Amino acid sequence: MPFNFSLWTLARWCLPALIAVSCAPAPRQSSAWRQLPSIPDGIGFAAPFAGVSQDALLVAGGANFPVLPPWAGGRKEWHRSIFVLPAPDAAWIPVSTLPRAAAYGVSVSWRSEVICAGGCDAEQHFRDVFALRWVTGRIETRPLPPLPRPLAYGCGALVGHTFYLAGGTDQPEATNALRNFWRLDLDQTHRDWQELEPWPGPARMLAVAGAGQGGFFLFSGVELSAAAPGKVTRRYLTDAYRYTPGSGWRRLCDLPRPTAAAPSPAIIHGSRLLIASGDDGRLVHFEPPAAHPGFPREVLAYDPRADRWVSLGDSPLSRATVPVVEWRGQAVIPNGESRPGVRSSEVWAFQLR
C-alpha cells in the first residue's frame, strides 16, 4: 500500500509535541550577580577601603577576628594589607601596606586614585585622608587635607568632583553618633574640608550614602544614645534624605526597613539606587550567636523620580560594613560581614550593563 502522509496525519503526530514545547517553562534568566576571585585570606575583612586605580581593583585594610569569634572571646584585629586585582579573571596580588592599620573609613575612586578618609583602630579614630595609586606594580600614597575631626563608621560618596561625608562617630567609646556633613572639592585639594548644614534628622552612624542626578543621598543608619553606664542603645533608622548643592536637604520617602551598614554607596543602576542586604536590627540579640542566619538578603530599589521604594527580591549574599566599587561595568562588593562577627573573603559583583 502506498504511504499516504496527509496534513491531518502530520497534525495528529506533531501537534502534541508542539503543545508540549509551548507549555514548557521558560528558561530562567541568568542572575545579575556573580563571584569574582576571593581575596587570599581565609577569613576576610570588614570595612576595608576599596576603589579603582589604573583600571585595577584595590582593597586595603579592614578588620576581623582571626582566631576566635567575638562570642567565644575572640579579639578583633585591624589590618594594613593592600590587595590588587588587575582583571576580573586574574588573581589577587598582595602588594603593599597602608600607612597604618585601619578599618571603617570611607573611600571613593577618583581619576585613577582611591581616596581614603578617616577610619579607626582599636584605640582611636583618625582624621587621615590620603590617596592610593597603583603604578607599575607598586602603590603610591599621597596625603590630602585631614578631616575636621576624627571619624569612623560614617558614609560618603562622590558627586561630580566633590567628596561628601556624613555621620559616624569620633571616638571608640562614643555614646552618640555625629550629625556632621562635610565636603572636599577633589579638584582643589589645596583647600580644607568644608562643613555644611547637616540633614534635618537624627545623628547617625553606619548609614548608606548614594549619588545620582547631581545630588547626595543619605539612607538609614543607626542612632546611638547612652543607656546604663558603659552601655549604648541603638535605634535602627528608616528615614532618607537628599542633598542638592544650591538647594539644600529634602526628606524622602522612608525605607521599607532599616539597612544599617549595608554596602555603601548605593549601587547606581539606571535611574535607580539599589541597597543590598544590610542590618535591619531584628536579630540584634539572636541566640546563640553562632547560629545567626545572617543579614537580610533583600535588595531595595529607590526611584528618585517617583520617590518610591520597591523590593527586587533576594540577592545571593548577606553583607554589612563593606564598600561598593564600580569597576568595569560592575558594582563590586569586596568581603564584608556575612553575619555579626563573621567575615567573608568572597568578592561579589552586580552586573550594571
Q: Which three cell numbers stand for residue 105?
A: 573609613
Within a domain: 72:
yes
Measure the CA–CA gap between 81 and 50, rounded to whole angstroms.
12
How far is residue 270's CA from residue 13's CA, in Å, rounded to a whole number? 48
The pTM (predicted TM-score) of the whole model is 0.90
In 3D, which of 243, 251, 115, 246 has the Cα closest to residue 180?
Answer: 243
Tell me whether residue 6 is in a domain. no
Q: Are 334 and 325 in contact (CB under 8 A)?
A: yes
Has residue 270 been placed in a domain?
A: yes
* Cβ partners under 8 Å of residue 14, min gap 6: none
Q: Determine the residue type at 52.
A: V
DSSP for 149-199 reads S--BS-EEEEETTEEEEE--BSSTT-SS----EEEEETT-TTSPPEE-PPP
Residue 4 in any domain: the answer is no
For residue 231, give its domain range. 31-351
Sign of CA dihedral 7, 12, 14, 16: positive
What's the pLDDT score for residue 27?
A: 31
Residue 21 lies in a domain: no
pLDDT tens digits in sequence order for the chain, 353 residues long: 333 333 333 333 333 333 233 323 333 334 899 999 999 999 999 999 999 999 999 999 999 999 999 999 999 999 999 999 999 999 999 999 999 999 999 999 999 999 999 999 999 999 999 999 999 889 999 999 999 999 999 999 999 999 999 999 999 999 999 999 999 999 997 899 999 999 999 999 999 999 998 999 999 999 999 987 778 999 999 999 999 999 999 999 999 999 999 999 999 999 999 999 999 999 999 999 999 999 999 999 999 999 999 999 999 999 999 999 999 999 999 999 999 999 999 999 999 97
Residue 22 lies in a domain: no
Number of domains in the chain: 1
| Contacts (Cβ under 8 Å, ≥6 apart) of 74 | 65, 66, 67, 68, 341
Q: Does residue 169 belong to any structural domain of this protein?
A: yes
Q: Which residue has the cell 579603582?
A: 52
Contact 144, 189 (CB under 8 A): yes
Query: Which domain CATH number covers 162?
Result: 2.120.10.80
Backbone angles phi, psi at 207, to 5 degrees: -80, 170
With respect to residue 118, please indicate whether it lies within any of the assigned structural domains: yes
pLDDT (0 to 100) of residue 125: 98
pLDDT score at 243: 98
Residue 227's pLDDT is 81
Burial of 80 (0-12, 13-18, 19+ CB in 10 A): middle
Question: According to the model, what pLDDT value does residue 190 have?
Answer: 84
The pLDDT of residue 30: 46
Alpha carbon distance 168, 179 (integer Å): 8
